[in-house]
Structure 1
Amino acid sequence: MHSIPFLARRLARGSVFITAALILAAGLNLGAPAVAASADGTDGISGTPASETGPDGRSRFSYEAAPGQQLTDNYSVSNTGTTSQTMRVFATDAFNTEDGAYGLLETDAEAIDAGAWVTFENGAKFVDVPLAPGESKLVTFTLAVPADASPGDHAAGIVTSVTSPQGQILVDRRVATRLYVRVPGELQAALTVGSISSSYESTINPLDGTTTVTFTVRNSGNIALGGNMIVGVKTYFGISAAPIVREELAEMLPRSTRVVTMSVPGVAQLGYLNSYVSLVPTLAENVTSPGPLAVVDRDTVAIAIPWWLVILLVVGGAVYLFLRIRRRIDGKRAEEWVAHMQAEARREAEAADKGELVASATLTDGDAR
């Protein structure tokens, strides 16, 4: 059993009646036990598949029925509260919610698929069952598959609903059990991955960023499928950039679409990042396989600017430029110093030559006298 959020229902006859639907679906996960919906410990209901003698341990109704075939089954409803209640039992269609949960139409919505195939005594679309506290009863229903039913899985739910006033609020409590009908024929198992994109979020640590991959999964076949998803990131030459991430894809009904987002941590800023998705379809337990299930692979590219490398290159370039300019300056100063020293040497040599000439001239004049 699982709960579905409360739903506002109607305003009627001058009084405000807010109908909140609490759906506790027996078997929304395989093997989930039936439990009761309760309020303030006084009202409670439960429902579970049953044989002609009582609950039989099934978590959901699952049938294989050909077009035109009819079959009967039983549903056990119980009053687990402390007050007498009248429970309405009916069937309605199922669908996948945006977050992948198994949802059922609202109480007053008209079923057009498997939910419309279920009838109760005398062909009624629902049956009211009065129950005293602690009392249980079996409700027998008939499933009639239309002659023109399409091959594949058709999903619905058997619902037990109880409405009770709480002041000015009319509360609708519901419990439900999944119902699947597989119509034989050309069965197609086809999960596809449509649009895919990825983005990179850096951190202070250049080796510990996060790549987020978002992709659309569609069940384009006609049977319900779950899946095991693997998301990873590769970089240059196909080298893995981080450990892969695994996640289970909740069962998708035929023609349903879901947007999935998965994150891969521990991805370094490597520039080129090749994000990929691998989806392995799976079937529920005790469901006939339609044949081999094809693995779906998709990938995309994201750019993670390696700021650490950019900074390193900038710093290295600045150091190189500084050293090169410094060498030029030092070289120019050295050339100027050499030129200066050479000029000083020439000046000193010239002065020495002049001194020798003067001394020589003096000696010559003395000899002549």
Structure 2
Amino acid sequence: MNSAFSPALLASRAASGIRRLLLAALLAAVTISGVVLAAPTAALAEDTIGISGQPAGADGAPDGRTRFSYAADPGQQLSDQYLVSNAGSLPQTFTILATDAFNDDAGDFALKPTEEAPTDLGSWVRFENGDSRIQLELQPGESRLVPFTVAVPDNAAPGDHSGGVVASVVTPEAQVKIDRRLGTRMYVRVSGEIQTGLAVGKLTGDYSGEWWNPLTGTLKLSYTVENIGNIALASNVSIGANTWFGIPLSTQVGDAIPELLPGGTRTYETTVPGIAAWGYLNPWVKLNPFVEGDDATKRLQVQATTRDAVVVAMPWTVLILLALVALFIGFRFWRRKVDAQRAAAWIEYTEAEALRKATAERASGADPLVTSSTGSLASRGGTDERQA
């Protein structure tokens, strides 16, 4: 019993207790460090980068416009204002620039990259520094009115020239630079010969459905639209399909095409459900173009255009039934023909057999016709003698 309370045993227990206390203190220190380190991260997550930009009046207040839209003559100069604001929580360097617009591969309205120099409308714009771009330092919540001019060249082509004013903020993130941009569309319609029109360059169709049910198929259409004029146009679209003798097969399917710039193209796909397989299908697409935007002075009457195509949709169930009917009719015709041939052959055989027998009897000296006639005469003679 006394050995249980020896100095060595007491020292061992004391060392073990000290180790447990040190371990607990270390875990507490790690926990406290994690909370302290997480706090700055949470604070950084609250920092935001915000960009606001819109057309404004000379008084510096937004005037309700959603785009810059002008009508001008060659050689004319225009003036306007752009209001830009830092809507974020950090001071930022803003680059305000003018650039050209184009339709991207999907056909959507797009503006050239920040680093690419403009060659059309964007090159007509000048800010206070005499260049097509200007840099501003804005504090959080600060706004700045940016005046600019648009100088239309003397040799500017008639029609719409499209571009935009862009507010750009470039920030480094994870070893890359992120370019955050906010753009406002700009249009200048230069006076001269205005040409309007959208064209459906290509229309193709593909029919699909259950082979056993020819009444509920789907017609998938693909068509390409091109702006062949010199003004920007959007369009409402009507789509349908006819069959033999122009009989309509479906109600019209409505669709829409966003704005296409002059020379722009875009390919669309749509489906027309509930189409029966009549063998011959005549899908069609009708465009009703219009000028998009809130500037009533630029609206024009644009002629509608239509394009159609031919699609073969075989009604396999009907064809199979017709094939079976044709086979049945063909079999009946063949069977009647065979029966008639057999009957004719039997008649020919019986006639030939009768002739053969008659020939054989004549050859043996007994004429059945003479014998029958003599017997008849003898019978008649006997009757006459009895009467006498």
TM category, shorter: 0.7 to 0.9
| Alpha-carbon separation, structure 1, partners of 2:161 and 2:342 | 90
Q: Counterparts of 1:85 and 1:269 in 2: how far apart (Å)? A: 63
The match for 1:191 is 198
Return the alpha-carbon distance in structure 2 between the equivalents of residues 288 and 76 of structure 1.
25
Q: Kindly indicate whether the alpha-carbon contact (under 8 Å) linking 1:189 and 1:290 is maintained by their aligned counterparts in 2.
A: no
1:95 equivalent in alignment to 2:96: no
Instruction: Determine the structure 1 residue equivalent to 2:257.
Output: 249
Aligned partner of residue 242 in structure 1, secondary structure? coil
2:237 aligned partner: 229
CA contact (8 A) 2:47 2:90 kept: no
* Match for residue 301 of structure 1 among 294, 310, 316: 310
Residues 161, 174 of structure 1: 8 Å contact kept: yes
Note if 1:277 corresponds to 2:281.
Answer: no
The TM-score, its normalising length taken from structure 2, stands at 0.71
SS of the residue corresponding to residue 50 of structure 2 reads: strand
What secondary structure sits across from 1:43 in the alignment?
A: coil
Give the TM-score taking structure 1 as reference length.
0.75
Q: What amino acid does structure 1 have at the position aligned with 2:143?
A: S
Alpha-carbon displacement from aligned partner over 1:301-343 (angstroms, at most 9, x marks no partner): 1110111211211333455566778889999999xxxxxxxxx
Query: Aligned partners of 1:333 and 1:124: how far apart in 2?
Result: 104
> For 1:54 and 1:300, how far apart are their aligned partners in 2?
53
Distance 1:259 1:277 in 2: 13
Question: CA 1:301–1:172 in structure 2 vs 1: closer, same or farther (change >3 Å)?
Answer: same
Whose helix proportion is higher, 1 or 2?
Answer: 2
State the Cα distance separating 1:261 from its structure 2 match: 2.1
Distance (Å, rounded) in 2 between the aligned partners of 1:221 and 1:109: 26
Count matched residues: 300
2:92 maps to: 85
Alignment partner, residue 13 of structure 1: none
User: For residues 69 and 327 of structure 1, what CA distance do their matches in structure 2 show?
Assistant: 93
Matched residues, percent identical? 47
Change (3 A) 1:236 1:140: same
Match of 2:220 in 1: 212
Tell me which residue corresponds to 1:268: 276
What CA distance in whole angstroms lies between the structure 2 residues aligned with 1:193 and 1:293? 15
Give 1:104's aligned residue: 111
Work out whether residues 107 and 264 of structure 2, in 8 Å CA contact, stay in contact via their aligned partners in 1: no
Structure 1 CA distance, aligned partners of 2:103 and 2:296?
19
Deviation sequence 1:172-211 (CA, Å, 0-9, x none) = 1000000000111111112122222222112253211111
Evaluate the alpha carbon distance shift between residue 40 and residue 177 of structure 1 in structure 2; reply closer, same or farther with a 3 A threshold: farther
CA distance in 2, matches of 1:246, 1:290: 22
Which residue of 134, 152, 175 corresponds with 2:182? 175
Structure 1 residue 59 corresponds to structure 2 residue 60: no
Quick one: which amino acid aligns to residue 51 of structure 2? I
Conserved 8 A contact 1:43-1:82: yes
Q: CA deviation at 1:74?
A: 0.9
Name the Cα RMSD after superposition.
2.6
Structure-2 separation of matches of 1:166 and 1:57: 35
Q: State the secondary structure of the residue aligned to 2:310.
A: strand
Q: 1:160, CA displacement in angstroms?
A: 0.6
Q: Superposition pairs for residues 127-138 of structure 1, below 5 Å?
A: 127-138=134-145
Q: Indicate how the Cα distance of structure 1 residues 83 and 289 shifts in structure 2: closer, same or farther if over 3 A, else same.
A: closer
SS in 2 for 1:122: coil
> Of Structure 1 and Structure 2, which has the larger fraction of its residues in strand?
1
